[in-house]
Amino acid sequence: MIINTSDKKFFQKKSLINYNGSLYDLSIPRVMGILNVTPDSFYDGGRYSHVGQAVERVGQMLNEGADIIDVGACSTRPGAAVPDAGDELNRLLPVIAEIKRQYPDAILSVDTFRASVVDALVGKFGCLIVNDISSGGIDSEMFRTVASLNVPYILMHMRGTPETMQNNTSYKNVTKEVVKELSANLDKLYSLGLNDVIIDPGFGFAKTIDQNYELFKHLDAFRFFEIPLLVGVSRKSMLYKFLGGTPADALNATTVLNTLALQAGANILRVHDVKPAVEAVAIVHKLKEFAQ
């Protein structure tokens, strides 16, 4: 495992991230609402491809209690058509501009694996959380870009690309290998001076259904990093393919795993359905009042 054990950052409990010059507290779990401005996302593709629809959806999620809005313009489902950087940026710019206009205090994340997109958006709008499914693996400039911009970064585990990831599911021990691979990338980010990093195990990305559940069972292994943990299982195939049905049938299963994730120490839940996740956070937090 590639870890610099002399670096105390690995062993300091961290529940605050710097967002736009202010400390944002993740000691009480937060809900990240998903906004896909794509025509072909696996669950809600095409619903919010127009600016008005997208911003209306943001308002709904904020009213339901979303703490962060994650805006993505490039579907990462297997087999999806990947737009070029220009098309991705053209989808994102008007939506984020209007969100900023109507909801200037909203905390925004951008779901992209392209450093050029990050650079353009942060240059225009200021601080954004960067949610990179590839851990810098698709764009070699990503780590240097987020470090130079000093923006919070979500480091998600994936092997390969969205097109090839399901051909990269060979693990001897999925939990140990995911932790090892994330550790190597986290060390690179720290060496570049970026401190505000959030870990995401990458459920559904380069993992079989059984591997997803094995990894989820060992979520406590990610406490090792002592930095915030994001869990994103919302309506994914590990739920609906296992239980039968489609993504539309997977809300209850999503809520079950979100509740278990909170009990295991998740700091952020990334979801399509905000209200059920907010309620799960409230109930788990209430139960902790009576912990002995």
Please pick, among 57, 114, 235, 270, the residue that the annotation labels catalytic.
270
H/E element holding 125? helix 115-125
236 is catalytic: yes
H/E element holding 17? strand 16-19
User: How far lies 69's CA from each of 103, 107, 108, 240, 276, in Å?
Assistant: 11, 6, 5, 24, 16
Whether 165 and 205 have beta carbons less than 8 Å apart is answered as: yes
Number of other CB atoms surrounding residue 27 within 10 Å: 11
159 is catalytic: no
For 16, the token pair is 């605050």
Task: Strands of the chain (E only): list them.
Answer: 16-19, 22-25, 30-36, 68-72, 107-111, 129-132, 153-156, 197-200, 230-231, 268-271
Decide: residue 265, CB within 10 A, 0-12 exposed, 13-18 middle, 19+ buried: middle
From 154, 260, 170, select the one nearest 216 (Cα to Cα): 260
Whether 222 and 202 have beta carbons less than 8 Å apart is answered as: no
Q: What distance in Å separates the CA atoms of residue 118 and residue 149, rounded to the nearest whole number?
A: 9
Q: Which residue has the tokens 């919070």?
A: 152
Q: What distance in Å separates the CA atoms of residue 72 and residue 255, rounded to the nearest whole number?
A: 22
Query: Hey, what amino acid is at 98?
Result: E
> N- to C-terminal Cα distance for the chain?
35
Q: What distance in Å separates the CA atoms of residue 230 and residue 248, rounded to the nearest whole number?
A: 22
In terms of DSSP bridges, do strands 107-111 and 30-36 run parallel, antiparallel, or are they unpaired? unpaired
Please pick, among 236, 241, 286, 288, the residue that the annotation labels catalytic.
236
Q: Which residues are catalytic?
A: 236, 270
